[in-house]
Amino acid sequence: MNAKVLMFHRVLPKSKFGGINAYKDRGTLISESFFESIIKKIITSKKRVLTLLDYHILQEKNEINSNDLVLTFDDGYKDNFEYVLPILEKYHLKATFYPTLKYCFEGNSSPLDAYYSIGDQLALDLEQRQDWITGEQKKHFLSLNYAGQKEFNHFLSKKHRKTPTNKALYMSVEQLKQLLSLGHEIGAHSYHHPILTQMSPEDLMEELARTANCLDLLGLPRDRTFAYPDGVYSEPIISKLKQEGYLSACTVEAKPVHSYQPFKIPRLFIHPDYDLTAI
Ligand SMILES: [Zn+2]
């Protein structure tokens, strides 16, 4: 038996979406009211809401039933603290958060945030907009490493004469600690959100060491779960995570698997047009 694992990213009141918003167009931003309607549906259908870690522990004991559900939040945007947390507390639910630790610890934003912010300032037509958010240009951006993404942003910024954002968009260390103290789970989502399969073995080791160090600094217990950045993984990556002591890891694949595979846990991507009857 498997639980349904829901995947969220950003949640904001509609009034804060602004004019053009890449996260909304990409589907990684939903409104606060839509989020609360999902939670209300979960409550009225009497689901048992678990953290990803509890899900793993109960799987080991064969105590999962089809009524079980997990709420996960990727990337660690501070809107999770401002708008998600009050709703979770209101309904007494615990969730799992997968913050991108570098940006939380440094109090800045990621190259992807900067990239989106340049596009949001431009009067692009539908096709150009699609290229920027999900098309070839976006794929090119994601294929670059951290330095390459920064360089590409610099190029776009000069070309279009727009300054990218460098606002603190992520939860602070204090906010992450508060989530922990309230009984929510924090899991690993890497240090700076690289595509893990594109890294050299040395860089991967460094990335995982930095991730573990940040989680240690948060005072996180050693039983930890992982969420693959952009959902990308391979068998060698799984072996590495097992060596590092992780108990399970979630993907971004929605297809249900019949048996529980701890390092290939599927998730349902909850976007603004998601059909709630599937929950
Ligand atoms: Zn992510």
Residue 278's pLDDT is 80
Ligand 1 centroid, distance to 189 Cα (angstroms): 7
DSSP code at position 170: B
Question: In this model, does residue 210 exceed pLDDT 90?
Answer: yes
Q: For Cα atoms 122, 127, 129, give the angle at the middle one, nearest 5 degrees.
A: 35
Ligand 1 centroid, distance to 231 Cα (angstroms): 8
Question: In this model, does residue 257 exceed pLDDT 80?
Answer: no
Ligand 1 centroid, distance to 197 Cα (angstroms): 15
CATH numbers and ranges of domains, the chain = 4-108+169-278 (3.20.20.370), 109-167 (no CATH)
Which pLDDT band, with edges at 50, 70 and 90, does 7 fall under? very high
Ligand 1 centroid, distance to 74 Cα (angstroms): 5
Ligand 1 centroid, distance to 229 Cα (angstroms): 5
The 10s digit of each residue's pLDDT in 10-43 is 999 999 998 899 999 999 999 999 999 999 999 9
Q: Using DSSP, state whether 92 is helix, strand or coil.
A: coil
Residue 220's pLDDT is 95
For every residue of 122-139, DSSP letters joined together read: S---HHHHHHHHTSHHHH
Ligand 1 centroid, distance to 108 Cα (angstroms): 16
Q: In a 10 Å sphere around its CB, with 0-12 CB exposed, 13-18 middle and 19+ buried, how is residue 92 labelled?
A: exposed
H helices of the chain, in order, are 22-26, 32-44, 52-60, 79, 85-90, 101-106, 111-120, 126-133, 136-143, 146-160, 173-181, 201-217, 235-243
Ligand 1 centroid, distance to 227 Cα (angstroms): 8
Instruction: Report the run of H or E that residue 200 belongs to, with start and end.
Output: none
The 10s digit of each residue's pLDDT in 42-72 is 999 999 999 999 999 999 999 999 899 999 9
Ligand 1 centroid, distance to 64 Cα (angstroms): 26
